[in-house]
């Protein structure tokens, strides 16, 4: 499959990126807020849902991907110890909370209630595969509430 390259400029675009990042694994040390550049960047090992949903031969895959957000004014964390650089987090979703248009907050939601909140001037994001791909042992599953 070709490498994924997506840009988000509105909430609908961001939902597409969120779908591709569901169940990505992100290390605390692979996230950075570059205040001077007004950028937040992260590296993730994303589960290739597109390949899995297509029933591709050869099993499941994870892909090394880069995620960046521009025009970030502030970044805050909840439930994360930034000193534990090797801690692996399971990314569940990326959402947008609007404020005075076009500003708002982009929130990266992780399993266990951890989150990264980015105050942004507007939505400007990119998700790009970086080439590396490898076989995943299984497809992520989630408990369903009754």
Residues 13-72 pLDDT 10s: 999 999 999 999 999 999 999 999 999 999 999 999 888 876 666 679 999 999 999 999
Taking all residues of the chain, what is their mean pLDDT, rounded to a whole number?
93
Q: How far apart are CA 89 and CA 77, in angstroms?
A: 13
What tokens does 9 get?
Answer: 């400029």
Sequence-separated contacts (24+) of 30-33 with Cβ below 8 Å: 31/116, 33/72, 33/75, 33/118
H/E segment holding residue 78 = strand 72-78
CA dihedral 80, 83, 85, 88 (to 10 degrees): -30
| pTM of the model as a whole | 0.92
Compare 52 and 146 and report the one with higher pLDDT. Answer: 52
30-34, 74-78, 79-83, 131-135: segment of lowest average pLDDT:
131-135
**Phi, psi dihedrals of residue 143, rounded to the nearest 5°:** -65, 140
> Looking at residue 52, what is its pLDDT?
82
């Amino acid at each position: 499959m070709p490498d994924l390259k997506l840009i988000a400029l509105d909430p609908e675009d961001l939902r597409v990126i969120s779908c591709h990042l569901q169940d990505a694994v992100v290390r605390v040390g692979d996230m950075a807020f570059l205040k001077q550049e007004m950028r937040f960047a992260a590296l993730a090992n994303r589960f290739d849902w597109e390949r899995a949903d297509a029933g591709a031969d050869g099993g499941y895959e994870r892909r090394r991907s880069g995620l960046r957000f521009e025009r970030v004014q502030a970044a805050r964390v909840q439930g994360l110890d930034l000193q534990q650089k090797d801690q692996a987090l399971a990314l569940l979703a990326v959402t947008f909370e609007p404020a005075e248009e076009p500003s708002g907050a982009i929130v990266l939601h992780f399993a266990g209630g951890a989150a990264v909140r980015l105050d942004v001037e507007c939505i400007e994001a990119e998700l790009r595969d970086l080439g590396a791909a490898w076989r995943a042992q299984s497809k992520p599953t989630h408990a369903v509430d009754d």
